[in-house]
Amino acid sequence: MKNKSVNTGARHAIPALAVLMFVTAVLIVTNEIWHAFGLESSFHWFSVLIHVNDPLQRLAAVCEIVEVVLAVLFSVLFAVFFLNIRKTCVAATAFGIYAVKGLLNELFMLILYLWYGYGMSAFSKYTIFALIPSVMALIIMLDFILKHRIWVLGLIAAVLMIAFSILPRLIDYRNTIGLIAAIIGEPDHWLVPMALEVVIPYVLEMAIMVIESAVLLVYYIFFAGKNRKSFVADKRREEFSDTVRKYAFYGSGSPAVAPVDPAFSGIRDQRHLYDILSELWCSETCAPRMRDKWSEENRTLGQCSITAFLAQDIFGGKVYGVPLPDGNFHCYNVVGESCFDLTSEQFEDEKLDYTGNPEQSRDAHFTVDEKRERYLLLKERLLEALARQ
């Protein structure tokens, strides 16, 4: 089901957030390219890895390479999440990567402290504050895993993660900020070209952090609460469906069967499949000879064979057919101890005999091209419906 709590404005805002996160990935790559070919290129990780033999420096370079890759991966995954905000596992993965990236950065800094001989005492004072964003990212990851059951805590963690990411940068680069002011004040000064080599990476880095922070805050303030409500509503609908709803199709009370094809893992059992198909059966999927009699009130009419073979794709088992007076067969499913007919309601009060019937071959049924096309259409729409969940 679609997330109905997301209004029209949100449908425009969410893709915009995805675009912004893709932009940050581009900015990260741009920043690294600038470093690699700027005035300080000899100190860049790429150059160090190739030309420097010191193991400590090479290890620092490897840490920096992996950190950049993880930064890009975080931005891309978080962008993908905004293409379908129901897939909170994608965002959870992104923030898990963010936390690992932060830990790698601390390892990188530790190596630098040892390299320059500052000692562990100086590093320990620095790392207490530097690790906070990674810890907050883990809390946000947990919130996404729990589908925003602790979204207020997630919001607090997001604010702290942003604060402890941006503020240290502003302090560390206060001289760079002064340099920016000097460039603006004296654009013709002879130091301007050299200063730009320092300023541009700083501007790119701050742009990346500001965009990521803004996207995260916008999501938590405007969408996380609604997303949580939709998950709660889904859970209640599932509970209602499982415990309250009375199904009328034959075999609705038979033991539940689970999907055997991972592509249909979003389907719980045959009753859940019936719920979904009830929204998909239409005149297009109805057998042509019965279309003039098909209606919204009798959705299962003319749907038996394509539904039974689709259910076989999902749950396995066999398809059998009840012989009909016109020489055709009405198809149904048997999976283990469960026998069910998802389209039996088209017969209303007529009682069918589900014992001793011949097994049906999909090859024989699908020699009729139009039937195979209807089956493929129903299967395609089912997969689309599962992708929207």
pLDDT digits (tens, 9 = 90+) for 83-107: 888 788 999 999 999 999 888 777 7
| 333 torsion bin: left (phi>0), alpha (psi -120 to 50), beta (else) | beta
pTM of this structure:
0.57
pLDDT at 198 over 70: no
Q: Which residue has the tokens 């293409």?
A: 83
Among the ranges 9-13, 244-248, 382-386, which has the highest mean pLDDT value? 382-386
pLDDT band at 166 (very low <50, low <70, confident <90, very high): confident
Give the span between the Cα atoms of 266 and 287, in whole angstroms: 27
Q: What is the pLDDT of residues 37-53, one digit of tens each?
A: 654 544 466 666 667 77
pLDDT band at 303 (very low <50, low <70, confident <90, very high): very high
Taking residues 118-135, what's their average pLDDT? 66
Residues ≥6 apart with Cβ < 8 Å to 107: 63
pLDDT at 239 over 70: no
pLDDT at 194 over 60: no
Is pLDDT larger for residue 292 or for residue 37?
Answer: 292
**Average confidence score pLDDT of the chain:** 81
pLDDT at 167 over 70: yes
CB 144 within 8 A of CB 155: no
